[in-house]
Structure 1
Amino acid sequence: MAKTPAYGGKGGGSARPARRTRGFEPAAGLMRDRIRTAGESRGFAASRILTHWAEVVGEEIARQCRPVNVSYKKGGFGATLTLLTTGPAAPMLQMQLPAIRDRVNAVYGYNAIAKISLTQTAPQGFAEGQAQFAPAPAPAPKAPPPQVVREASALSQGVSDDGLRAALEALACNVLARHGGPRDA
């Protein structure tokens, strides 16, 4: 009498659970299944469309819209991709829909998307949060106080190379500003 293996194999036992490797794992690997499940619930078979939207359609288009849903017709060929955009950007995006469809289908590897529909929203949206497609600009750095600038230029005065002197002044300004201003001699 031949014994059947306990895991997998021909004996019909339960499948062996996925075993994690020892040590540290990248966070992306730990979240891969959850991201795929969330994406598939909205119709995204390829999660790359959601996670790398700017790479798929380009930075300029990604600032104006984002993918929301992929819906499939019963018995029909191709799906409909729904994009969320603001009202003023919609006419310009409408003209670029064939190029967007080609880029998205290139990710799928076949003509998965037959149609793209645009959904407009206000810049300050409702339940899903505000529709900010471009990240907020970084705040401008504060100018250092004049006494810090004076001391930084005094410290770098003996350097003859202009580029090196400017770099040393910027470094001295940053260090002095971080540590509470000019030194008391």
Structure 2
Amino acid sequence: MPKPKDPDTPPERRKWVGPVGNDAPVLGAAAFARAGFSDPTLVLHWEKIAGPEVARLARPLRLSQGAHGGVLTLMAEPAAAVFLSHETRALAERINGYLGRPAVARLKFVQMALTQPEKPPPIAKPAPDIAPDDPVRSYTGPEGLREALMRLARARHSQTR
């Protein structure tokens, strides 16, 4: 008789490939737990909690329980750590208000250069058609130059729309 599966333990591997999505919740929860976040809400909704300006300058790194309550360690840009240290009380109140419980009593800053998340590339618009009477259609010179003239005509046509 097979044992019932425990949702908190990763599945056994038996030399076969399975969907990654089956393991993701367990492995993600384990990664958050190692950093002290029993509830990943703080990390996943950080920009909404802290605001866009603070989220650009600092990110949550670890949440630990101290003698006087939770201590949230934030990675902060070196120049911003001093600025943010003056905003600790307001930021802790916003965090606790969002979570609905007094989870953070103190903030600690670790100065580290943050990499900004890359913005997705803009979606390319389809190239507009070139008018049938456009002079570029009758060009008979080298192919490379013809393609460059076609791109120029498309760009010119898209600006007039």
TM-score using structure 1 length: 0.55
1:148 aligns with 2:138: no
Per-residue deviation, 1:106: 2.6
Identify the residue that residue 105 of structure 1 maps to in structure 2: 96
Identify the residue that residue 70 of structure 2 maps to in structure 1: 79
Contact 1:81 1:116 in 2 (8 A): yes
Structure 2 unaligned segments of length 5 or more: list them.
8-18, 124-146
The CA distance in 2 between the partners of 1:140 and 1:94, in whole Å, is: 36
Secondary structure at the counterpart of residue 88 of structure 1:
helix
Secondary structure at the counterpart of residue 63 of structure 1:
helix
Identify the residue that residue 36 of structure 2 maps to in structure 1: 43
TM-score using structure 2 length: 0.62
1:17 aligns with 2:10: no
Aligned counterpart in structure 2 of residue 34 of structure 1, from 22, 27, 48: 27
Contact 1:46 1:108 in 2 (8 A): no
Report the CA distance shift for 1:153/1:67 in structure 2 as closer, same or farther (over 3 A): closer
Identify the residue that residue 80 of structure 2 maps to in structure 1: 89
Per-residue deviation, 1:151: 5.0
Secondary structure at the counterpart of residue 84 of structure 1:
strand
Q: Deviations over 1:80-109 (max 9, x none)?
A: 101111211112211221222122213432
Secondary structure at the counterpart of residue 149 of structure 1:
helix
Per-residue deviation, 1:40: 1.2
Per-residue deviation, 1:53: 1.6
Secondary structure at the counterpart of residue 109 of structure 2:
strand
Identify the residue that residue 117 of structure 2 maps to in structure 1: 135
Identify the residue that residue 177 of structure 1 maps to in structure 2: none
| RMSD of aligned Cα (Å) | 3.5
Structure 1 unaligned segments of length 5 or more: list them.
1-5, 8-13, 20-24, 124-130, 157-162, 167-185
Identify the residue that residue 144 of structure 2 maps to in structure 1: none
Per-residue deviation, 1:35: 1.4
Output the amino acid matched with 1:110.
R
